[in-house]
Structure 1
Amino acid sequence: MYDVVVIGGGPAGATAAEDLARSGHKVAMLDRAGRIKPCGGAVPPRLIKDFFIPDSQIVARITTARMISPTQRHVDIPIENGYVGMVDREHFDEFLRDRANDAGAMRLTGTFLRIERDSAGTHVLYRDKATGDTKQLTTRLIIGADGARSDVARAEVPGGDEIPYVIAYHEIIEAPAPTASYHPDRCDVIYDGAISPDFYGWVFPHGGQASVGMGTGIDGVDLKQATAALRESSGLAGCKTIRKEGAPIPLKPLPKWDNGTDVVLAGDAAGVVAPSSGEGIYYAMMGGRVAATAASACLATARPKDLQLARKLFMKEHGQVFRVLGAMQNAYYRSDERRERFVSLCHDVDVQRLTFEAYMNKKLVKARPLAHLKIGVKNLAHLTRLVSPLRT
């Protein structure tokens, strides 16, 4: 009998499993081996600090972000007083799983099949990867951390099958030497409807490699062709391709994260990817942490209602940021004219500073009310077309 079975071993599941194991709970972590999620790999300083990530996992340190408009105008934003760390998900996720295992979580490799219940308890059935046999884990609680199209969420949590998402696709390439269009210390974010009609494209350095990709929620968009066009425009068409990956990325937290009895969701399964930016690693790990907190409380009190703590704690800390980012995406991602205006706003020094202070510290900056007022006026002027999209 396990206290908790964690289904999924990405950043959310591995973090939940590690936290629970370090708290003295008997934990099993079930994960499918060999899957690498398409991801730019950016992690803020707060994640590195809060989750004790060693320097060995940081494959690049980004000091500039370049925003590129549909007309190929660009704004280079310096990242003051810090940097954006880059990780390679192939190695970072495995590091987190190993750390959970070292903390005492039982690591199992296989494919989740279903959840069954009887008088003996709650059972997780899975197909063991090594033998192909169907095996069973009996547990008191379950954390579903099995991704954006979570089988656990669809089967157990109301609304779990209705989560909005975009499809992300990227290609990992061998990084070239620095050129006019590529630099190993700079992330490029491309707001161009020819690349993505409703999201954005990216070129993110990973040390000796780079992630080049895009996302969209619109059916019929050829993700591979769009990425090929992005590589061509970025001068990366001739670089060797190492691997290609695609997966859904949710864009809105689910209204409910638990089933009221014995299941709580975490990470992409709960929808905790930031709107507008698509940032997910930090929020996945925080989602895993609050799921572990809720599970610990439920185990201590035997009150299923305590599973609601996961969503309450997360939204109390990050709900306002998600609402602001969601409003920004709705306002500026709908057309190339709006994207052009968004890049124009990025010329503003206050926009730059407040954006990256919020990104690095994971909270909205409220210390400079005059800067907020000025940004609000500029934002309104662009959205009401009182100024040219080429004006900063």
Structure 2
Amino acid sequence: MAPRVLIVGASVGGATAAITLRSFGIETIMLEKELSKAKPCGGAVPPAAFREFDLPTSLIDRKVKQCLIVSPSGQETRVPVAGTIPSDDDYVAMVRREVFDSFLRQRAQERGADLIHAQLTGLRVDRRGVVATYRTPSGHEGSVWADVVIGADGAYSPTAKFLGLPHLPRAVAIQERIKLSPDKMARWEETADLYLGYEVSPDLYAWAFPKRDHIAVGIGAGPRHSTAAKQLLTNLKRRLGDALAGGQTILREAHALPMEPRPHMAFDRAMLIGDAAGLVVHTSGEGIYWAMKSGQMAAQTLAEYLDAPSAANLRHYERRWWKQYGTMYRFLRFLQMWGYGNERQMEVFTEMCRNYDVQRLTFDSYMHKQMAPAPWLAQLRMTAEIIASEVRNYLRPRTPIREQLGLTVVEKERMVAAD
């Protein structure tokens, strides 16, 4: 019997893994429980994804060419999306996951991957292979055999659970899609907003991202603050004020984000990719590109070792991953802890983003997905400005904007408790 791979989850990571496996002629089955409901997501994708995975730009709703960062006190920093060398790829693509995921899934099927619309109910892995059981939406029970399983099934990953792996610490993201009139949408024609402050996100950030005909307004909250997510979103909408006037909420959605990568992403006859492996970068919470890239890299490694899919062989995938991206992940984790640690640091972070060198290095790294080198003179300039900003904001703290929003005493106490 020809080798067969089962992929649990057929969104961006799973579909990309399937496309890659089919390019090697490997029989591939995707198991996906949800084909119609949109996956909750901010939907920001770097241009690198469209180049590397040969994606049509018709999938893009908006090309964001400017980011507005607003500090807890209301300081604003406008950052042009541009690298050191200007190019046509100086933008952040905004997509809707229901469109983006569907395209990739369809491409995988066109390349020969099979799709089963069902939920994973059981998984057994032994030296002979993998047996998965599932239940379709109509209640039909079935099973499938494979040589290897790839878990591409999100932060709650049933695959990881059946493999006996512990849960990852998770943040929660909640957002509303708000349909606005054309004159209101003009405010976000080529701009995406990021908001900082305890009243909207105690340890991450809040956002307003433009889509084709609506705005995605959302917040991220770490594990200690997930129960306050709805209140944080309410505070964000209050902070946006008249910009959302007359808007119609067409969808509210929430999802979990893993806060740490797993110690191992490959095992005997099993691999994990994307959110299931904890591959969401800190600071931005970006996951789409990393799910696709990990799906591709896992599939390429599997194609090499499909005749002997032991943990020792399949862990070439994770070693290659961390060799290529480990420095970036570690840096962005440090940046999140440094920049979002408290509201004074959020003020420093906002001011830091005005620095020309910071802007160029940030977008060089974002658009090309590799750490951009920082010349020593640029490092000196950035360090001097950061020190000056630290002194400024710690000697004379700015007043948080929530004092101007008229939060109730209970809400203020909740924000203070989050500090």
| 1:301 CA drift (Å) | 4.4
Q: Identify the residue that residue 172 of structure 1 maps to in structure 2.
A: 177
Counterparts of 1:181-192 in structure 2, within 5 Å, are 182-192=187-197
Pick from 37, 40, 52: which aligns with 1:38? 40
Distance in 2 (CA, whole Å) between partners of 1:242 and 1:332 is 33
CA contact (8 A) 2:67 2:191 kept: yes
Q: Secondary structure at the match of 2:79?
A: strand
More helix by share: 2
Whether 1:10 and 2:11 are equivalent positions in the alignment is: yes
- The 2-side partners of 1:220 and 1:84 are apart by 28
Asked whether the equivalents of residues 253 and 272 of structure 1 are also in contact (C-alpha less than 8 Å), the reply is: yes
Give the aligned partner of residue 150 of structure 2: 143
Partner of 2:319: 312
Amino acid at match of 1:29: M
1:12-69 deviation digits (Å, cap 9, x = unpaired) = 1110011101210000000012342221111111111001110210110001001100
Identical residues among aligned pairs (%): 33
Name the SS of the counterpart of 1:222 in structure 2.
helix
Query: Distance in 2 between the 1:338 and 1:186 partners?
Result: 24
> What is the match of residue 244 of structure 1?
252
Does the 8 A contact of 1:172 with 1:210 survive in 2?
yes
* CA displacement at 1:118 relative to structure 2: 6.7
Query: Which amino acid letter does the alignment assign opposite residue 229 of structure 1?
Result: N
Gaps of 5+ in 2: 399-419
Check conservation: 1:381, 1:387, Cα contact below 8 A: no
In structure 2, give the amino acid aligned to 1:72: G
Match of 2:412 in 1: none
Match in the other structure for 1:48:
50
SS in structure 1 of the partner of residue 286 of structure 2: coil
Aligned to 1:86: 94
| Native 8 Å contact 2:4 2:26 kept in 1 | yes
Paired residue type of 1:183? W
Which residue identity does 2:66 align to in structure 1?
Answer: T
Partners of 1:382 and 1:388 within 8 A in 2: no
1:257-336 → structure 2 map (5 Å cutoff)? 257-259=265-267, 261-336=268-343
Pick the aligned partner of 1:224 from 226, 230, 246. Answer: 230
Q: Quick check: 1:344 aligned with 2:344?
A: no
How many residues of Structure 1 are paired with residues of Structure 2 in the alignment?
386
Residues in 2 aligned to 1:324 and 1:194: alpha-carbon distance in whole angstroms: 26
In 2, distance between residues paired with 1:70 and 1:237? Answer: 22
User: CA separation in 1, counterparts of 2:236 and 2:378?
Assistant: 34
- TM-score, structure 2 normalization: 0.87
- Secondary structure of the residue aligned to 2:143 is strand
CA change 1:382–1:310 in 2 (3 A) is farther
User: Distance in 1 between the 2:209 and 2:341 partners?
Assistant: 24
Amino acid at match of 2:92: V
1:166 CA drift (Å): 0.7
Root-mean-square deviation (Å): 2.1
More off after superposition, 348-357 vs 168-177: 168-177
Q: Which residue among 63, 78, 81 is the counterpart of 1:76?
A: 78
Residue number in structure 2 paired with 1:360: 367
For residues 97 and 309 of structure 2, the distance between their equivalents in structure 1, rounded to whole angstroms, comes to: 36
Alpha-carbon contact 1:249-1:268 (below 8 Å) kept: yes
Give me the TM-score of the superposition, normalised by structure 1. 0.92
